Amino acid sequence: MKHALTGLVALSLLAPSVSAQSLTGQPAQASDAYYVAARADLATRIAVTPNTGRARNIILFVGDGMGTSTLTAARIFQGQRQGVDGASTWTTMDRLPYAALVRTYSHDSLVADSAPSATALLTGVKARNDTVGVDHTVAVDDCAGSVGHGAVSLFETAEDAGLATGIVSTARITHATPAAAYAHTPQRDWEHDAELPAAAVAAGCTDIASQLIAWPHGDGFEVVLGGGRAAFLPKTAPDPEDPQARGLRQDGRDLIAEWKLKHPTGRYVWNRAQFDATTPARGEPLLGLFEPDHMKYEAERDQDVGGEPSLAEMTRKAIAALQQQDKGYVLLVEAGRIDHAHHVGRADLALADTVALDEAVAAALGMVDTPDTLVIVTADHSHNLTISGYPPREAPILGSVTRGDGVRSIASDGKGYALLSYASGPGAVDGPRSDVADIEHDHAPYPALVPMRSAAHGGEDVVARATGPWAHLLNGTIEQNLIYHIMAHALGEGADEPSTKAQD
């Protein structure tokens, strides 16, 4: 330490004589394109001033399973799809001025599932895997033990305070992430009554779909858009899109009909034509359930019989509806199918859904004023996707690794390999691995190391990016549940702080 301090003192004494020429002079590389671009980026960052005013609105985007490797691969994919250099492409998410690394472990696991991670984001506490909207004392499946241990969500406090609220997801609206906004249950799989065991029913637990309809806060959600129609319909009811399909409820309840009775001025839609025909109006809540199960992957959305809106279109519709209200709003937008694509080893589908999320972020930023709207983009957890090899910069991100001369790179076993692969998943083989000639391709899973029916989540930190009031608090490395507290502070406690009127 003594030698280090001595060196620092000596450097400080020398600094006045050497700094003027070395730090203000133009180096030889000053005209280099990379150098010029970085200097411009520096100027932009220097101009950003933290905004400490009160947030009137909050929009939280969650890319389910959107780890850092997914973000990088999707950026490259997005650029290449547009016919430009993928490596240097900037997504809308990339341009948000503040960022932090987020620790995603749950109370009982190094690797979280979506239920406790969404609970952390929306209630401010860490919980156990498979539980939603309850604190860490609640054990999985323990209905009796969950009584009195519900964790109040940001959406519940917002509704009670008179703000408008909304949820958008490409997953079932009763799935783990959207459920954390309104449900409290020791088991994330209790999405409809047929899933509840008799003991849970006897102990007073109710299914997630019915909790959404009975949600007692404020005047209820102003807008709910997603999939999962079957959990709201009785098993005797045919699905409007597929007459061969039926609802899942065994209690005979039609929760969609109940929602209509509860909201006589509301509008329920299930297809693209009805969605397009709706014009958001004050006092007219909107419920859209576009699939019996999850919504389609973005790359397959055009195959839907009834037609589905994109995530960006749902985001725009939700914001337009929420902007009709007086006091501001809180909105959750989830790209739920990034995770599902990774689980089945389909990196191509995952990247397309990540780009769709980026388009939704761009759509939102085009409609709101960031001086009074806090926008956060993050993930609930990562996945085990990897990007490896030494391909040329222009190599297709969905293809196999090649050398600079275009010849396929060969591993030590004499076979080619993919640029994208998984540590685990259905793309693994029992025995010698296959030669990867080309992955752009036949809808098969991408290669994996450990054979698993469903690829496992990743446990590394994810990224949170933000703009708007108090976005600067997202910096360094943070616990996932801190994001809730930042949002709550921006909405409420930040009200008495002076605003810098920053345009970040």
For range 395-403, the mean pLDDT: 93
pLDDT range class, residue 6, cuts 50, 70, 90: very low
**Residue 373 belongs to what H/E stretch?**
strand 373-379
pLDDT bin (cut points 50, 70, 90) of residue 443 is: confident
Q: Mean pLDDT for the chain?
A: 92
**Average pLDDT, stretch 376-390?**
97
Residue 5 has what pLDDT? 41
31 φ, ψ to 5°? -95, 0
pLDDT cut 70: percent of the chain above it: 92
Residues labelled as active-site residues: 114
pLDDT at 16 > cutoff 60: no
Judge whether residue 294 has pLDDT over 70: yes
* Domains of the chain from N-terminus onward: 57-384+456-496 (3.40.720.10), 392-454 (no CATH)
**pTM of the full predicted structure?**
0.93
Tokens describing residue 183: 């449900």
pLDDT at 3 over 90: no
Condensed to tens digits (0 to 9), the pLDDT of residues 113-126 reads 999 999 999 999 99
Confidence band for 20, pLDDT divided at 50, 70 and 90? very low
Residue 207's nearest CA partner among 236, 225, 227, 182 is 182
pLDDT at 441: 56
Query: Region 183-189: what's the mean pLDDT?
Result: 98
Q: In three state form, how does the secondary structure of 145-208 look? A: HHCCCECCCHHHHHHHCCCEEEEEEEEECCCHHHHCCCCCECCCCCCCHHHCCHHHHHCCCCCH
Tens of pLDDT along 43-71? 999 999 999 999 999 999 999 999 999 99
* Residue 428 pLDDT: 94
499 DSSP 8-state letter: P
Q: What is the pLDDT of residues 166-176, one digit of tens each?
A: 999 999 999 99
Where does the pLDDT of residue 439 fall: very low under 50, low under 70, confident under 90, or very high at 90 and above?
A: low
pLDDT class for 405, splitting at 50, 70, 90? confident
User: Contact 352/298 with Cβ under 8 angstroms?
Assistant: yes
Share above pLDDT 90 across residues of the chain, in percent, rounded to a whole number = 86
pLDDT 10s digits, 65-116? 999 999 999 999 999 999 999 999 999 999 999 999 999 999 999 999 999 9
Instruction: Give the DSSP H/E element, type plus range, for residue 2.
Output: helix 2-24
pLDDT score of 438: 54
Can you say whether the dihedral through the CA atoms of 335, 365, 229, 156 is positive or negative? Answer: positive
pLDDT in tens, 446-489: 999 999 999 999 999 999 999 999 999 999 999 999 999 999 99
Question: How far is Cα 50 from Cα 284, in angstroms, rounded to an integer?
Answer: 36
With 80 as the cut, is the pLDDT of residue 295 above it?
Answer: yes
Cβ–Cβ contacts within 10 Å for residue 47, how many? 11
pLDDT of residue 493: 57
| More confident: 429 or 269 | 269
Phi/psi of residue 489, nearest 5 degrees: -65, -45
CB 194 within 8 Å of CB 249:
yes
Res 437: pLDDT: 67
- The pLDDT assigned to 406 comes to 84
Q: In the predicted model, is pLDDT for residue 310 greater than 90? A: yes
Q: Please determine, for residue 17, whether its predicted confidence score (pLDDT) is greater than 90.
A: no
In this predicted structure, the answer to whether residue 499 has a pLDDT above a threshold of 80 is: no
pLDDT of residue 24: 63
